[in-house]
Amino acid sequence: MTTYIHELKAWPAFQWSQEKLAGTLAHVRHRQGRLLGRMDGLGFPLRNEANFQTLTEDVVKSSEIEGEVLDKNQVRSSLARHLGIEIGALTPAERDVEGVVEMVLDATGNFGEPLTAERLFGWHAALFPTGRSGMRKIIVGAWRDEKAGSMQVVSGPYFPYDRERVHFEAPEAGRLDRETRSFLDWFNEEREDIDPVVKAGIAHLWFVTIHPFEDGNGRIARAIADMTLARSENTAQRFYSMSSQIRQERNAYYDILESTQKGNLDITEWLDWFLGCLDRAFDGAETILSSVLKKARFWEKHAAARLNDRQREGINRMLNGFEGKLTSSKWAKFAKCSQDTAGRDIDELIKLGILTKDAAGGRSTSYSLVEVD
């Protein structure tokens, strides 16, 4: 019979090798400092844009890890409203999207505030505004109880041919008051002997292990890690997304999580993986920075162009990563205008040197942005 780490007598006395982690931690901290320094040099508007793009990816990818696909335009609209950013026409966001956004913004925006049971209950209620996870009614805004049965932590299925995989079983519900109190006391304690980045990795693992809610534990654990990383940087603005990187490495994430749960209380391997994942997340920040600078150069070049609101929205959609090819039909749909109006908008942008017609013509006519040097 498998024994999990939360069943060990010394639980939760985690141990790790400072010596084995020292090199990786120093490297990660150096990259973290360099990234923040570069972002500070961008200026306020570009930092806000980078923060906005990062948070969008973070919200979308954190849900994808759990097999839930959110509408990216709804996420962008919700974030824009909360952050006071002008992005043109806003897509109405559903309540579950608003809830994820509110949780992430509270975790990172109020990173200095204590983490309490009530705060966690609020996050959980925001994630499940209807009181249901899919078709299943769940306990919302409170710890799970014995009626839910044994809590198995599973991944998948993500595709029709996938099978669910059980990684470990969480502590029984009767232990949750004691377990969560122990976790929150540790999390809120000021400790100089644990680097804040290492603390983010421990907090993620600890919360996932106790799994106090019926659903949403993974997303909340990642929000807690982001909150701790924000504390390590003393800024609410996010310029890299751990959730996006974990999404890319989802199989490895569940593998290391499972092996750690079935091991002992030496979590050096988990922390080494977490630090490595964070290091790779910094690479994603380069992509976001490149996108932000490209967008800034584009609008600088075309600052004098007289564009209507539909044209500005269409261009911004393309700059933000328009899915598929732009056609006049798609333009008419998102701009809520006639096909003739869409055609005139596009023709004007071609004359201004902003759009160009793609090589394929006829019924498959599509358009691309003219690259800015």
Helix residue ranges per DSSP H, 148-215: 176-188, 196-210
The per-residue pLDDT for 161 is 46
Fold for 306-369, please state it: Arc Repressor Mutant, subunit A (1.10.10)
Mention every residue, 6+ apart, whose C-beta is less than 8 A from residue 307: 315, 349
The per-residue pLDDT for 260 is 96
Fold for 5-294, please state it: Fic-like fold (1.10.3290)
The per-residue pLDDT for 156 is 60
Residues with pLDDT less than 70, the chain: 1, 88-89, 148-150, 156-164, 361-363, 373
The per-residue pLDDT for 289 is 84
The DSSP line for 209-252 is: HH--SSS-HHHHHHHHHHHHHHHHHT-S---S-HHHHHHHTHHH
Closest CA to 238 of 62, 69, 98, 86: 62
Sign of CA dihedral 104, 108, 109, 115: positive
Is 82:105 a contact under the CB 8 Å cutoff? Answer: yes
Mention every residue, 6+ apart, whose C-beta is less than 8 A from residue 110: 236
pLDDT digits (tens, 9 = 90+) for 145-177: 988 666 777 776 544 445 667 777 889 999 999
The full set of domain ranges for the chain reads 5-294, 306-369
The per-residue pLDDT for 164 is 67
The per-residue pLDDT for 159 is 43
The per-residue pLDDT for 168 is 79
